[in-house]
Amino acid sequence: MNRDLAHLQPYPFEKLAKLKAAVTPPTDMSHIAFSIGEPKHASPDFVVKALADNLNGLSVYPTTKGSLELRTSIANWCTRRFHLSEGVLSPEDNVLPVTGTREAIFAFTQAAVDRVPGALVVSPNPFYQIYEGAAYLAGATPHYLNCLADNNFIPDYDAVADDVWDNCQILFICSPGNPTGAVTQFDTLKKLIALADKHDFIIASDECYSEIYFDEAKPPIGLLEACEKLGRHDFDKCVVMHSLSKRSNLPGMRSGFIAGDAKLLEPFLKYRTYHGCAMQAQHQIASIAAWDDEAHVLDNRNKYREKFREVVNILSPVMEVKQPDASFYLWAKTPIADDEFAQRLFAEQHMTVLPGSYVSREVDGIVPGAGYVRMALVATLDECIEGAKRIRTFVESLT
């Protein structure tokens, strides 16, 4: 087998299952999970209907490039959402459908990395673990940049050494970030684009949480929008990845896209035809319905807004919690070690949260997720309120 498989770390949820297996939760309390970032709001009816109405799509092999209708719908969505000049994002050259951003992150890394000695894939830390595994399997070494509270959970890019940038082949940005919800702002994107030009690397921006935000007047900026502001209409060295999983509560549909630099997408399409990950025809039709509608996305945001308001209200008197810039995660500081916090919370309150140290690596003697837990506010409002009350009771019991 491929020797690089040995580099793959257990997934955070495997570690969490072990942590929980060592204790017994109270049987008189129902379990509440704040651990997994799987949206629980209902999938939109009209998307489900579009899927069901087109099941005859099962009788055809879908093309890897996807239908022109889907690529046009995606290009139009990007143009509206990121204020792009009309026509700069071509459905023909600048957009490819993917079966979820997880797959896109992994596959793009395989296609983009040139296996030369010293090749680096640079990512935030804490992170979404696929960046790391994708780097190893592409024959590169992951290089992690700590995201700390004193820099609003954005890496200190100014502190990165020139030789790291020289060896960097892909820089992953995750904005809004998992697990911290931090948004990378325009000035930083501009600086990163200048670095990509100087040191010749690709910026891949994972923006799958971009539609979960709190201020309707201020949607998070994305990398395409930064390119637009800079007049970089060829999106040189830049790609973004988006998904319907969180935006439209469709994690099971496996639908997203990659968009940006045509010079990168053309060879990536070639890679994908071998990789064999074409989106099913009926999923393409259902995805068009989802990308073309914003009402359900606004409704979704309103639900998260209410949950954040309630949960932050309940927890802030006893814990350091703050509404994030965006996303559905609360990144909360723990008064005891994060793994002990998660284990005792499960044992005493039958609740699961994800220890921050499980989604980060030690760099320069720092494990940036240590002392934090990630709470995904994906459950119903009532469950989120009940969960927050249980966490508060637990924290109060510690003092």
**Smallest distance, ligand PLP to C-beta of residue 257, A:** 10
**Smallest distance, ligand PLP to C-beta of residue 335, A:** 26
Tell me which of 109, 188, 245, 282 binds ligand PLP, using CB under 6 A: 245
The CB-nearest residue to ligand PLP is 100
Contact between residue 210 and residue 176 where contact means Cβ atoms under 8 Å apart:
yes
**Smallest distance, ligand PLP to C-beta of residue 120, A:** 20
* CA–CA distance, 181 with 192 (Å, rounded to integer): 19
* CA–CA distance, 323 with 380 (Å, rounded to integer): 18
* Residue 100 within binding range of ligand PLP, rule CB under 6 A: yes
Interface positions, 42-81, toward ligand PLP (CB under 6 A): none
Contact pattern for ligand PLP over residues 115 through 154, marking x by CB under 6 A: -------------x--------------------------
**Smallest distance, ligand PLP to C-beta of residue 29, A:** 27
Q: Does residue 256 sit in helix, strand or coil?
A: strand
Judged by CB under 6 A, which stretch of 13-21, 98-106, 137-145, 226-234 contacts ligand PLP? 98-106
Tell me which of 121, 173, 208, 288 binds ligand PLP, using CB under 6 A: 208
Q: Does residue 6 sit in helix, strand or coil?
A: helix
Task: Give 25 or 62: the residue with its C-beta nearer to ligand PLP.
Answer: 62
Give 17-77 as a DSSP string: HHHHHTS---TTS--EE-S-----SPPPHHHHHHHHHTGGGGGSPPPTT--HHHHHHHHHH
* CA–CA distance, 271 with 265 (Å, rounded to integer): 10
**Smallest distance, ligand PLP to C-beta of residue 134, A:** 11
Query: If binding means CB under 6 A, how many residues of this protein chain bind ligand PLP?
Result: 13
Tell me which of 206, 211, 228, 386 binds ligand PLP, using CB under 6 A: 206
Closest CA to 110 of 169, 69, 177, 25: 169
Task: Give 280 or 349: the residue with its C-beta nearer to ligand PLP.
Answer: 280
* CA–CA distance, 139 with 118 (Å, rounded to integer): 9
Residues listed for the chain: 399
Element of type H or E holding 241: strand 238-243
Task: Give 328 or 394: the residue with its C-beta nearer to ligand PLP.
Answer: 328
* Residue 300 within binding range of ligand PLP, rule CB under 6 A: no
Task: Give 237 or 242: the residue with its C-beta nearer to ligand PLP.
Answer: 242
Task: Give 78 or 395: the residue with its C-beta nearer to ligand PLP.
Answer: 78
Tell me which of 64, 178, 334, 349 binds ligand PLP, using CB under 6 A: 178
Amino acid at 175: S
Tell me which of 89, 140, 147, 174 binds ligand PLP, using CB under 6 A: 174
* Residue 249 within binding range of ligand PLP, rule CB under 6 A: no
* Residue 102 within binding range of ligand PLP, rule CB under 6 A: yes
Exposure letters 77-112 (e unless 16+ CB within 10 A, then b): bbbebbebeeebbebebbbbbbbbbbbbbbbbbebb
* CA–CA distance, 359 with 43 (Å, rounded to integer): 28
Interface positions, 25-44, toward ligand PLP (CB under 6 A): 37
- Count the neighbouring beta carbons within 10 Å of the beta carbon of residue 389: 15
Output the CA–CA distances (angstroms, integers) from residue 115 to 118, 168, 170, 206, in the order listed. Answer: 8, 12, 12, 23
List residues near ligand PLP by CB under 6 A: 37, 100-102, 128, 174, 178, 206, 208, 243, 245, 251, 256
